[in-house]
Structure 1
Amino acid sequence: MHEPVRVVIGEDDVLLREAIARLLTEAGFEVAAQAGDAETLLDEALAHDADVAVVDVRMPPSRTDDGLRAAIELRRLRPETAVLVLSQYYEPRFALDLVAERSEGVGYLLKERVGDVDAFVEAVNRVAAGGSVLDPEVVARMLGRRAAGSRVAELTAREREVLAAMAEGKSNQGIAAALFVTEAAVSKHVTSIFQKLELPQTSTEHRRVLAVLAFLRDEKR
């Protein structure tokens, strides 16, 4: 029998923190600790060997990006801990900072997504398993700001849709269902994306991560 995924929650809004803890517990996760400020979050995540830290970007003491910085420090100190960051507003810089080194086991969602319990639980499971999750709204806005000379801008409209879905963490099957196309068609688009982004011939899963990173890093240009 598998051990439940151990989660630590960092959120200064007590009601929201308790709501997240309750829905995760009901979904079968072990909520090991809760924290209302960034320093306590980091301490608790390390003390409990958390599998996943669910973290609000803006936490005390400064309520700017303390939660994000704690999440980045946690990944430096304990790389095996996955991080799902929650933000009240669309702030792509925070998403970029979070995946600056690697995108495995990280997610960035707008807080409003917590209300979609199934999607939120799936996101926690996905990052716990080493996947990546980006909020669809963040992805859509990033794609809308592509630099004209970038490799991402060379993708067709459908390929950009597929890449956006990859950035959200969807599998080929999930992308096919979302776009109402066949898995064969998705596979063809994914191969084309790899070629246009000039990604190396490695495992398919690793190339998907590299494609997402190319998508994210292009935002910095």
Structure 2
Amino acid sequence: MINRHLRVVLAEDSVVLRDGMVELLGARGCEVVATAGTAPELLAAVSGHQPHVAVVDIRMPPTHTDEGIRAAVEIRERAPQVGILVFSQHIEAAWASRLLADGAAGIGYLLKERVARTSEFVDALHRVADGGTALDPEVVDQLMRGAQRGRVDTLTPREREVLQLMAQGHSNRSIAALLVVSERAVEKHVAAVFTKFDLRATEADNRRVKAVLTYLAEQRS
């Protein structure tokens, strides 16, 4: 599949890292239409440039706590058509849950230290821009930590494993390859998850997204 040309807004307060990412993304066929070093600059850039996706660091000036992800939540509310890829050294589970509260489509959350290749990052950008999901396994684990007993607890270990890979944005074929099982076996596990989560098939609904949201939301109950 040929990736489309992406318009990107990049929010990163480190000038050295920001300039390096602009160069890397440009070499991979992405157009960084604006950069931002603060949350207000990010909001203004997204409003002014209407990018396909915004890359957001969590901790930005002035307090370097959660300004970036707060801005990401605001972008999600103001411009839901813009994909958001949080790219950070930190996991903020509470704010990540808020970011995902209205749907996992078009959302990514990757940890800088775990992205080994530029191609992985660019693939995640395209996936998010196209309405997919890209969640680091550690982010999913943090979101699930301390969850109350609920529907997730009804899953078998294999069903939970399949659902976690769904949360990372993998297709059934990709999950089958990772788990070294048949695609048909994965389909059965996915169907079991839908049944246990009481997600009935409708023409309009994306049950994969709803299953992932159920999985992520239980830590907030």
TM-score (norm. length: structure 2) = 0.92
Q: Distance in 1 between matches of 2:123 and 2:47?
A: 24
**Contact kept? 1:146, 1:152, Cα under 8 Å:** no
Match of 1:76 in 2: 77
Give the Å deviation of 1:38: 0.7
Match of 2:110 in 1: 109
Match of 1:202 in 2: 202
Match of 2:87 in 1: 86
Match of 1:52 in 2: 53
**Contact kept? 1:152, 1:215, Cα under 8 Å:** yes
**Contact kept? 1:38, 1:70, Cα under 8 Å:** yes
Deviations 1:2-57 (A, max 9, x none): 86110000000112212222222111111111111111111111111111000001
Q: Distance in 1 between matches of 2:117 and 2:204?
A: 30
TM-score (norm. length: structure 1) = 0.92
Give the Å deviation of 1:140: 3.3
Give the Å deviation of 1:178: 1.2
Q: Distance in 1 between matches of 2:96 and 2:18?
A: 21
Partner of 2:206, secondary structure, is helix
**Contact kept? 1:38, 1:61, Cα under 8 Å:** no
Partner of 2:35, secondary structure, is strand
Residues 128-137 or 106-115, more deviating: 106-115
Q: Distance in 2 between matches of 1:202 and 1:110?
A: 34
Partner of 1:133, secondary structure, is strand
Partner of 1:191, secondary structure, is helix
Give the Å deviation of 1:122: 1.3
Partner of 1:84, secondary structure, is strand
**Contact kept? 1:84, 1:106, Cα under 8 Å:** yes
Q: Distance in 2 between matches of 1:137 and 1:211?
A: 18
Match of 2:33 in 1: 32
1:170-185 equivalences under 5 Å are: 170-185=170-185
**Contact kept? 1:113, 1:119, Cα under 8 Å:** no
Q: Distance in 2 between matches of 1:162 and 1:3?
A: 29
Any stretches of 5+ residues in structure 2 without a counterpart? Answer: none
Q: Which amino acid aligns with 2:64?
A: R
Deviations 1:151-202 (A, max 9, x none): 1011000001100000000111111111111111110100000001111222
Bigger relative contact order, structure 1 or 2, given CA contacts below 8 A and separation 6+? 2
What is the root-mean-square deviation of aligned Cα atoms in Å?
A: 1.9
Fraction of identical pairs, as percent: 48
Q: Distance in 2 between matches of 1:88 and 1:216?
A: 20
